[in-house]
Chains A and B, each alone.
Chain A
């Protein structure tokens, strides 16, 4: 299929304005005739549900947790970017756009990123009006701080809990609409299928996680805001319930999956400490504003950090990248940490950690200032590790954090299934091969507050939609297939638990499709995943019954999808014979070990099409055109 991104014509800065004018409108009286399904209640889903309901649409919103306030956007710490230029440093929409395209290693769509930068300022206005308690200066105006990949301070923050506060803002707007009856909320539901009728998304099949009931819901459009797939690695900074199931099942119904191998490894997480570990905890990138990253100069130096004198420390980021220093983008910081540990300079019991040291910042600014900025993060670190970061440097190591890949969408955020829209981390559109810090919150809210409410109107106004009910054969077929797969999982009755399989899959993905990749390893991993998937089908042990609150069964369904999806990531990584951003193929690097792109052959989005169970997916390419920025080797020196 020829992919059409539907990018409006005209100069970059006028595309969105022009498109908004050209989109057909649904008049206010007619909006109430439409019913829209929104799956997920993070920043994208919460803001979309509330905004659509405010416009007059009837909205049915689903979430997997007991309350929409718990979606994993809540865990974002550091901040949200906007091109306000309140700091008078020369920031602009154009600069935010340029930094984001460059940070993504020139693998994102210019028009989408420009629009994101344009609406970034509206987001801050909206959130302040909702009562989000952003940090402020003494004069009562908003404060800013720096994040990686940028030389201006454009990040707005609420202590180390920015995601929580923005999500609670969107959640309060959503709750207001639930109160008015415009949104009907369905918590503790897991979407297990998209129902397409005559090529258009017209509903979903979901499992009620309390009763186990398989439910069907119709709608005039379906909006997926179901987050990323980082948990394919088992250990990640994602929440335990984060999964690929909704996106993957949409893929199986005809939505293309774009750039699945683009995963982000966050440089500053608390290192792994045992087999029983269930997740990794992020320490905000904002810490790199004041913390200095270093390792001992000499290999195998096992002295306590305080015992290592200044001349024997290697502040490798500051030395190697003098202009960005500790604030290089995440992919660069992560690869450098790995490089140091591979050279046997890593610290801590496992040797898989580097120091993030606040000693100089505390000397310079005083403990109180540092505590005010990062107090809750320091406290979290101490709870987990039992070490006090005011006195001993933090130990950090990279971990899977975010996935830039996701369902392919056009400029309207619509997937290759008509009427199926995809927002936030679940789509692929804005971050290219690497996301800059404080940009995920920006994208989730941009999509939900300021993009979808316009573009979905254009779809609904211009599309004839016939009356349907859940009695339609497409719903019946979908329910049968969902029921069959649930029963299959319960009937295998093997010898290994779901988590056991998940951990093994995670190891394969981390070892062969993690921070650095090579063709040989990827090919090996592909075989290993196929074998593991076959064993899962014969040997998994899922206790309990289907008509019950059964958390093992929930996880089994998600891991079954991860076992198929992991292979798709590998296929994508193998087909992209270049390095870019978070995808680092060892065969393609510069003399200084930076990612080496191949713009002649790989300046495209890889959108994968499902062709059937156990069949190779088909690659569709969307060529990326850069009319406004020059493709260069990224340099942060």
Chain B
């Protein structure tokens, strides 16, 4: 049965990238425990609007945990306290009456704040542009079943490909490293025969791009794996390292 709770919210408000931000306090009253976290923010925003104030800016779209658009740091944890859950799929039944909830944007130099909880994540696209693809033009493909892939490789590739590109791994990492994100793509493509011809080039140029974009390095803190809403494993980082060293030692790629 539906029950309701009352909460105190401390929300990061920042008018723009160059503006100074601060935590503002709001009361959230009679919040149904069946609501999602974002629906709770919707309710607060409706109130703020009616009071003549500006609502809290936050990114969101599909609200079913797949588009990767939403995300905020909730009580110090990206996407909040539930394991394997995006913010839009986090439900208020995981909070208690009279809780105080601190809500902040992703914290990383590579993700500047646009407004309030919305951040700029185009750096993730830039890494994919550097090599997160198989170079095959439309029209030239052979019959799909001409390339058998073992079920095991296909499953491992799918595990990695489940990444939604939300950036929680970067927000969780003390070094703000994007290694989990990057390794998920490198792994997926390295596991397929189709991905092999470009594997060396891909590993080297994607890692180089990541370094240039101002992300930190991986020091095996494993915070990324713990907070990833899709539970992407850090074994992908091991596979990336393997691909990267292999490329350095055994290929002509520089």
Give residues in A with beta carbon < 8 Å to B: 47, 50-51, 54, 65-70, 72, 74-75, 84, 86, 122, 124-131, 133-142, 158-159, 161, 164-165, 168, 171-173, 175-176, 178-179, 185, 187, 210, 239-241, 273-274, 276-279, 281-282, 379-380, 383-384, 386, 449-450, 453, 495, 497, 499-500, 541, 543-544, 548-549, 551-552
28 inter-chain pairs at a CB distance below 8 angstroms, sorted by A residue, are: A65-B61, A66-B69, A67-B125, A72-B61, A86-B145, A128-B144, A129-B142, A131-B195, A134-B144, A135-B154, A136-B149, A139-B148, A140-B151, A158-B161, A164-B164, A173-B133, A175-B132, A179-B130, A239-B63, A240-B61, A273-B2, A274-B32, A274-B34, A274-B35, A453-B138, A499-B42, A499-B46, A541-B50
A271 CB to closest chain B CB (Å) equals 11
Say yes or no for B5: interface residue by CB 8 A criterion.
no
With A172-B134, A383-B85: A164-B121 Cβ-Cβ less than 8 Å: no
Verify if B55 is at the interface (C-beta below 8 Å from A).
Answer: yes
Q: How far is the CA of A492 from the CA of B62 in the complex (A)?
A: 30
Using CB atoms, name the residue of chain B closest to A68: B125
The answer, among B38, B68, B120, B136, for a CB contact under 8 Å with A69, is B68
Q: In this complex, what residue of A is CB-closest to B46?
A: A497
Contact A276 B32, CB 8 Å, known A67-B121, A72-B62, A131-B189: yes
- Whether A142 and B145, one on each chain, are in contact in the complex, defined by CB atoms closer than 8 angstroms, is yes
**Residues of B within 8 Å of A, CB-based: how many?**
78
Q: Tell me whether B220 is interfacial, beta carbon within 8 Å.
A: no
Cα A273 to Cα B120 in complex, Å, equals 34
Select the residue from B130, B142, B165 with max chain A CB neighbours within 10 A: B165
B92 vs chain A, min Cβ distance (A): 10
* A306–chain B nearest beta-carbon distance, Å: 19
Q: Does B212 contact A (CB under 8 A)?
A: no
Residue of A nearest to B42 (CB): A278
Q: B226 at interface (Cβ–Cβ under 8 A)? A: no
Residues of B within 8 A of A386 (CB): 91, 93
- B55 and A552: CB pair below 8 A? yes
In angstroms, how far is the closest chain A Cβ from the Cβ of B37?
11
Q: How far is the CB of A47 from chain B (nearest CB, A)?
A: 7
Contact B61 A70 (CB under 8 A): yes
Tell me if B39 and A276 are in contact (CB < 8 A). yes
B10 at the A interface (CB under 8 A) = no
Residues of B within 8 A of A65 (CB): 61, 67, 69
Q: A74-B66, A175-B129, A450-B138 are in contact. List 10 more A-B contacts (CB 8 A).
A: A54-B138, A66-B59, A131-B188, A131-B192, A133-B154, A179-B130, A185-B125, A278-B36, A380-B89, A383-B82
Contact partner of B2 (CB less than 8 A), chosen from A69, A84, A274, A499, is A274
Chain A contacts of B64 at CB under 8 A?
A: 75, 279, 281-282, 380
Which residues on the B side are within 8 Å of A282 (C-beta)? Answer: 64
Query: Please, what's the 1-or-0 string for B150-190, where 1 marks a CB less than 8 Å from any CB in chain A?
Result: 11001001100110110000000000000000000000110
B166 to chain A, nearest CB (A): 10
What string of 1s and 0s marks CB contacts (under 8 Å) between B114-128 and chain A?
110010111011001
Q: Distance (Å) between the CB of B229 and the closest chain A CB?
A: 11
Q: Please report the C-alpha to C-alpha distance between residue A584 and residue B203 in the assembled complex, in whole angstroms.
A: 55
Complex Cα–Cα for A50 and B137 (A): 9
CB neighbours of A239 from chain B (8 A): 61-63, 67
- Are B150 and A140 in contact, CB atoms less than 8 angstroms apart? yes
Report how far A388 CA is from B103 CA in the complex, Å: 29
Bound complex: CA A611 to CA B55 (Å): 37
Please determine whether A175 and B151 come into contact, CB atoms closer than 8 angstroms: no
Distance from B149 Cβ to chain A, minimum over Cβ atoms (Å): 5
In the bound assembly, the distance between CA atoms of A70 and B122 in angstroms comes to: 12
Q: Find chain B residues with CB under 8 A from A380 CB.
A: 64-65, 89
Min CB distance B69 to A, Å, is 5
Which of B57, B129, B149 is A140 in contact with, Cβ under 8 Å? B149
In the complex, are the beta carbons of A161 and B154 less than 8 A apart?
A: no
Residues of A close to B61: CB separation below 8 A: 65, 70, 72, 239-241
* Residue in A171, A187, A278, A497 whose beta carbon sits within 8 Å of that of B49 in the complex: A497
Contact between B39 and A552 (Cβ–Cβ < 8 Å)? Answer: no
A128 contact set on B, CB distance < 8 A:
141, 144, 147, 194
**What 1/0 flags go to B62-90 for Cβ under 8 Å of A?**
11111111000000000000101100010
- The chain B residue with its CB closest to the CB of A64 is B61
With contacts A172-B134, A239-B62 taken as known, whether A161 is within 8 angstroms of B162 at the C-beta atoms is yes
Given A124-B144, A125-B141, A133-B157, A178 and B150 contact (CB-CB distance below 8 Å): no
| Alpha-carbon gap, A127 to B189, bound state (A) | 13
B219 within 8 A of A: no
8 tightest Cβ-Cβ pairs between the two chains A and B: A140-B148, A172-B133, A129-B141, A179-B129, A125-B141, A128-B144, A133-B158, A51-B138
Known: A131-B189, A276-B39. A50 touches B32 (CB 8 A): no
Q: Is the beta-carbon distance between A168 and B161 smaller than 8 angstroms?
A: yes
Q: Decide if B99 is an interface residue (CB 8 Å cutoff).
A: no
Min Cβ gap A45→B in Å is 14
Contacts of B128 in A (CB 8 A): 171-172, 175
Chain A residues lying within 8 Å of B254, measured Cβ to Cβ, are none
Given A139-B148, A383-B89, the answer on whether A75 and B66 have CB atoms closer than 8 Å is yes
Which residue on A lies nearest to B84, using beta carbons?
A379
Contact assessment for B134 and A131 in the assembled complex, using a CB-CB cutoff below 8 Å: yes
Among B59, B61, B138, max chain A CB count under 10 A is at B138
| Beta-carbon nearest neighbor of A372 in chain B | B155
Complex CA gap A549/B151 in Å reads 46
Q: Is the CB of A142 within 8 A of B144?
A: yes
Beta-carbon contact of A543 and B53 below 8 Å: yes
In Å, the complex CA distance between A277 and B40 comes to 10
